[in-house]
Amino acid sequence: MDINVTANSKKSRDQAETFFSKTQTQSMALNRIISEHDAVSQAREAKTARLRELRLEKEADELRAAPAPKSKSKR
């Protein structure tokens, strides 16, 4: 009877270790995917902010370079 108990115990332990290993691998893969997604999002936000700054600078330069509108004289 000890042999069956030991065999069942080993089988249960092996199954638990296999399940844990699979779960751990999936967790690590998910963490990697999340990290990559975060990095892409941060890069996109930084690029958007940089482009916004450039656009605002360009618009300000264009406003400064535009001739002043002539005032209409009232008669």
> Is 32 within the bounds of a domain?
yes
Residue 5's pLDDT is: 72
Rounded to 5 degrees, φ, ψ at 21 are: -60, -45
> Is 42 within the bounds of a domain?
yes
> Is 9 within the bounds of a domain?
no
Number of compact structural domains in the chain:
1
Pick 68 or 55 by higher pLDDT. Answer: 55
* pLDDT band (50, 70, 90) for residue 14: very high
pTM for the whole thing? Answer: 0.58
Q: What's the domain range around 41?
A: 25-64
> Is 59 within the bounds of a domain?
yes
> Is 55 within the bounds of a domain?
yes
> Is 20 within the bounds of a domain?
no
Dist CA 51 CA 59 (whole Å): 12
Structure tokens at 57: 């600078």
